[in-house]
Structure 1
Amino acid sequence: TGWLGDVWRHVGRRRRILLLALLIHDLGKGYEGDHSEVGAQIARDVAPLFGLDEDESEVLEFLVLRHLLMAELAFRRNVDDDSLVLTFAREVGSPEILRLLTVLTMADIAAVGPGVWNQWKAELLGDLYNRTLQVLDPDANDRGVDLKRMEISSLVADVDDSDPLARLVAGLPRGFLRSYEPKRVVEELTELTSLPRGGQFIAVQWQTDTSTISVTVGLRDSSISGVFHRIAAGLASQRLEILSADIHTLDDEYLIDHFCVIDRDFVGPTPEGRLSEISKAVESCLENEVPSIRRRWNPLASEMQAAQVLPARVQVDNDSSVDGTIIEVFAEDSDGLLLALSRTLYEHQFSVRSAKISTYLDQIVDAFHVVDFDGAKVEDSERLATIRRALKEVAGSGV
């Protein structure tokens, strides 16, 4: 059903190759070396046994070799970055192979266990699929973005062109348009442009379709420093799990941050009183000194022996994106870890443009897309090495 159902229906004549890839893609596990590379060799060896021609064999081998790629990009990268999407599109090569890889990715995630595949992941994967399809087939799906822009424009048709709201609407980046519904965009921008200089608003809402909480923070001409880690502090103080975060600077005057979080203290819709508590906590951290929140190991994570605890790892990717640096942190999950990491980035004068947070049982993978305080990509290798060491120390300290 939904967009994935449409993708599956368009797989067509390549369906047999997809089913073979589903059977083969993890056969490399248990052997020495990267299981994707081992699996690709197995695919190459068995393809003739299934009567595949040379072209079909190459597609099967590619699907097995790169079966983890799409999940990595969708869940750990900022797909608003056109250079990342373009690189991915070049590797995939065609809309047909993109559809095969998309269905394989979904099936691989869903097979991990009950509840692993969810609406939030479906939306992230769908976002990457649609953006990549736009590169491979420009007439395929970007009409939706154009229609959103037209709908937003119609909602503000009575606004004078000199009004800041009209100016923001006219200059909205395509990534912003893709991510949010027109009515919500107009409501948020209206509130944003109504702020006095130095003003702010905080909106915390339950999202029924994804069973998550959206936290939106808007600021105008703010003198507050370290906005990202201040918001993270407010959310950490309420024991919330952050799934994703996006930061947009509009017209060099307005800042709007979107956080998607889960409240493990409640099952089902979050009560209004609780939403109010979250809003007040974020407001307090924006206006006052950020409180010291001691990290504690996730009580829901499985208990592990000391010998099983893996050391923290930090990877710096300065090649994938033209405009920014991608920093990934792999570590044991603990409450307050995101706050500690974001504070460290701020203290080393890195500005977080967006963040993707993934949790796998007791492990976290946080991917930060960062620039320097002037909005430029950081090219200094010594500075990158310094932040890598600092983040690794913080991620492994547990304090």
Structure 2
Amino acid sequence: LHDIGKGHNTDHSTLGAKMAVDILTRFGYSKRDAKIVSDLVLHHLEMAKVSQRRNINDPKILDEFIKIVKNTEFLKMLTVLTWCDANAVGPNVWNDWKQTLLIELYTKAYNILKEGITAQEYSSRLLEEKLVKIKGALEEKYGKEKAEKLLSRVSQYYINSMPTDEILKHMELEYKLLNTSDPQFYFEENINVGFSEIIMAVNDIENPLLIFTGIISSMGLNILSIYSFARKDGTRLIASQISTPALESVSQQKFEKFLTIFNDYKKGLITLDDIRKTIKYKGFKVNTIPPPTFVKIDNRTSDQYTIFDISAEDRIGLLFDIIYIFSKFDIYVHIAKVTTQGERARDAFYVRTPQKEKITDEKPLKR
């Protein structure tokens, strides 16, 4: 029944939820069962949206999600429905990347509900535990003074946003960067989950996120998720998950090619325009109607960021083009969460000004 409200020129989840009650009542189901199914139909897109297009490490996001699911049993049912719905759409719509995000959201929500605490309490507890682990690991590796210096450069939001093992990877790169002034990279090919990880730490390149996405696009690769962090000393750290167009992990050989292009750019041998010219933009199939393009701006969900939800025809280079437009307006992209549904890209961008403020002026937002 989850899509039964489609075709009526209105929100199909809301209409479908009302229709589900009438249908189940007519079939002799109890009021309790009819209410559960109706609520599942109403919220059947919520888990995919939150896991794939929102920062699920943000306590506010988690609290809003908890208000919807209310208890662990409904959470379990909604998780199963989300999986079944996505897998029934067609081949290659569901992948290991989406599965990882879904399970992460489920686990966080389950723990919060089971313990009967708020997401903020859960996050605060995790923050304290993470800081102890991170500080201990850094002190063991670099000594107390250098560990404190590394930690003093980052925000609490960053610590909350990233897993402990990822933070330690970042810190190692940044320690080398601070000592050598040379850009630092980390690469890992995750064959089992269909994506590879590239992390980059730099401090002498303007808008490295734009350069990074431009190079990846010029290589014909997909960006599944990308984070960009600005440190207090001017260092920029970019953490990404990338895949091939067939949603397979990217090889070491491809990473070496990425490094070659990056170094050529850094040496001034090529420009951003040169990189743009090598992006092979593939148009939509002949006789196929492309999906609609729309942009929605959300200033309510996050306390720190303005969120742009963008839906458009999926293609290599789309993410780079969007970040390029943001750069023209001096808008800094912190998180880009990228998903595809068939031929459609459904992307979310957490952005703010160079002064680290949300964008609330309607005039630049409209432009």
Cα deviation, residue 148, structure 1: 5.7
CA–CA separation in structure 2 for the residues paired with 1:96 and 1:146: 29
* Pair 164,232 (structure 1): closer, same or farther in 2 beyond 3 Å: same
1:243-322 residue pairs with structure 2 within 5 A?
Answer: 243-250=224-231, 252-264=233-245, 270-285=250-265, 288=268, 289-292=271-274, 293-294=276-277, 296-298=280-282, 303-305=285-287, 308-322=289-303
In 2, are the aligned partners of 1:298 and 1:362 still within 8 Å (CA)? Answer: no
Query: Corresponding residue for 1:225?
Result: 206
1:313/1:330 contact within 8 Å kept: yes
The answer to whether 1:384 aligns with 2:351 is no
Q: Identify the range of structure 1 (136-145 vs 59-68) with the bigger mean alpha-carbon deviation.
A: 136-145
Task: Note if contact 1:235-1:282 (Cα within 8 Å) is conserved in structure 2.
Answer: no
Uncovered stretches (5+) of structure 2, i.e. residues with no partner: none
Q: 2:340 maps to what in 1?
A: 359
Equivalent residue runs for 1:108-147 within 5 Å: 108-138=85-115
Number of residue pairs aligned between Structure 1 and Structure 2: 356
Which residue of 2 is the match for residue 213 of structure 1?
Answer: 196
CA–CA distance in structure 1, aligned partners of residues 263 and 295 of structure 2 = 31
| C-alpha contact (below 8 Å) 1:89/1:136 kept by paired residues | yes
CA distance in 1, matches of 2:299, 2:110: 25
Is the contact between residue 164 and residue 193 of structure 1 (CA under 8 Å) also seen in structure 2?
Answer: no
Q: Does 1:193 align with 2:175?
A: yes
Equivalent residue letter for 1:298 = K
For the residues of structure 2 that align with 1:340 and 1:238, how far apart are their CA atoms? 15
1:284-315 CA deviation, whole Å, 9 max, x = no partner?
4456431342454437x6x2327x23453222
Cα 1:267–1:177 shift into 2, 3 Å: same
Candidates 22, 35, 57, aligned match of 1:80: 57
Which of 92, 96, 99 aligns to 2:76? It is: 99
Q: Distance in 1 between matches of 2:290 and 2:247?
A: 30
Asked if 1 retains the 8 angstrom alpha-carbon contact of 2:93 and 2:340, the reply is no
Cα RMSD, aligned residues only? 3.1
Moved more, 361-370 or 51-60: 51-60
1:282 partner amino acid: F
* Cα contact 2:242–2:250 (8 A) shared by 1: no
Separation (CA, whole Å) in 2 of partners of 1:96 and 1:240: 39
**CA–CA distance in structure 2, aligned partners of residues 268 and 358 of structure 1:** 15
Distance apart, 1:352 and its partner CA: 0.2
State the one-letter code of the partner of 2:105.
L
Amino acid at match of 1:384: L
The CA deviation at 1:229 is 1.1
SS in 2 for 1:114: coil
Which of 220, 229, 236 aligns to 2:217? It is: 236
- Secondary structure in 2 matching 1:334: coil
- Partners of 1:267 and 1:34 lie apart in 2 by 31
- Measured after TM superposition, the shift of residue 69 of structure 1 is 1.3
How many angstroms does 1:272 deviate by?
Answer: 3.0
Partner residue of 1:163? 146
* AA matched with 1:48: T
Report the 3-state secondary structure (helix = DSSP H, G, I; strand = E; otherwise coil) of the residue aligned with 2:237: strand
Distance 1:285 1:233, change over 3 A: farther
Query: How far has the Cα of 1:383 moved from its partner?
Result: 1.1
Amino acid at match of 2:95: N
Q: 1:208 Cα shift?
A: 2.3
C-alpha distance in structure 2 between counterparts of 1:176 and 1:127, whole Å? 17
Structure 1 gaps, min length 5: 1-23, 387-399
Q: How many angstroms apart in 2 are the aligned matches of 1:369 and 1:284? A: 30
- Aligned in 2, Cα 1:157/1:109: closer, same or farther, shift over 3 Å? same
8 Å CA contact retained: 1:208, 1:269: yes
Measured against aligned partners, the alpha-carbon deviations of 1:36-78 in whole angstroms (never above 9, x if no partner) come to 2232122111333455444443322111011011111211222
Tell whether the 8 Å contact from 2:281 to 2:317 is kept in structure 1 after alignment.
no
Q: CA deviation at 1:251?
A: 5.0
Q: What are the superposed Cα offsets for residues 321-341 of structure 1, whole Å, 9 maximum, x if unpaired?
A: 221111122222333222121
For residue 172 of structure 1, report the CA deviation from its aligned partner: 7.0
